A and B are shown apart, each in its own frame.
Chain A
Amino acid sequence: MTKDSNEILAWVAEIFETPIEKIRPETKRDEIEAWDSLGILTLIARMDEDFHILLTDEEIQRLRSVGDIIDLLNQRDANPGP
């Protein structure tokens, strides 16, 4: 796993207020308690604020695991901000 991936995992853990040990690329959405409707709003807001990524409804629907978030950020060539 690259350093960037670790940073993204930490970023995801922060968003979903989940211990980082429980956040792996293979972690499914339904395994993260806070990945609910509020969690999705938080994810959308942080994508915008931290990476200037405006998620479409289709992209939101396609996010089913932490790996999907990582893939999306890599596709957009995003780097976590400070």
Chain B
Amino acid sequence: MRFLFIDRILKLEPGRSIEAERVFPGDLDFFRDHFPGFPVVPGVLLTEMMGQAAAMCLNAETPEKGRGRAILAQIRSASFRDWVRPDEKISIKAEIRTSRPELATAVCSAEVRGNKVSTADLLFTFLPMERSAADGRDEVLESFLASSGRVKDGSHG
């Protein structure tokens, strides 16, 4: 199983905000355990999903900042307001609130059919690029940047 919980980026302002979406297909193994007879997406995965969206927003501007790959350092708060069932489309929003060389914070939310299902306030630090695999790629982000005529080399606006 890939640890990638964003299907598609819909809107992106690098370093400022992002909108994305995700569907957790009903045939994923963990639904057998969470919960038997009543499958719902685990809150930890919703939190990770929102964190990945915010990280993509930060990583999209990283070439200018030169500070490496955003990684989740702290879940400052997280709330789960409603069940998310298998195969439901989740709309994700993240806004970057603080962005400094050593850290960033983001407020995030997830909605299903206009109903807010989860919110999170997250803190990120940065993994220096030399500690990442040289061929490590973010295919979702690259796909969005390519489709919107931007490339991840710092030339996007």
Contact = CB atoms under 8 A, between A and B. Distances in A.
B97 A44 contact: no
Interface stretch (B18-26, B39-47, B53-61, B100-108): B100-108
Contacts of A48: 98, 100
A81 to B, nearest CB: 14
Interface of B: 73-74, 76, 97-98, 100, 102-103, 105, 123, 125
Interface of A: 38, 41-42, 44-45, 48-49, 54
Q: Is the interface of A mostly helix, strand, loop or mixed?
A: helix
B55 to A, nearest CB: 15
A48 B105 CA distance: 11
A58 B54 CA distance: 29
A44 B125 CA distance: 12
B74 A41 contact: yes
A42 B123 contact: yes
A10 to B, nearest CB: 17
Given A38-B73, A44-B102, A49 B125 contact: no
Contacts of B103: 41, 44-45
A44 B105 CA distance: 11
Given A38-B74, A42-B123, A49 B105 contact: yes
User: Which of B97, B123, B125 has the largest number of chain A CB atoms within 10 A?
Assistant: B123
A46 to B, nearest CB: 9
A7 to B, nearest CB: 20
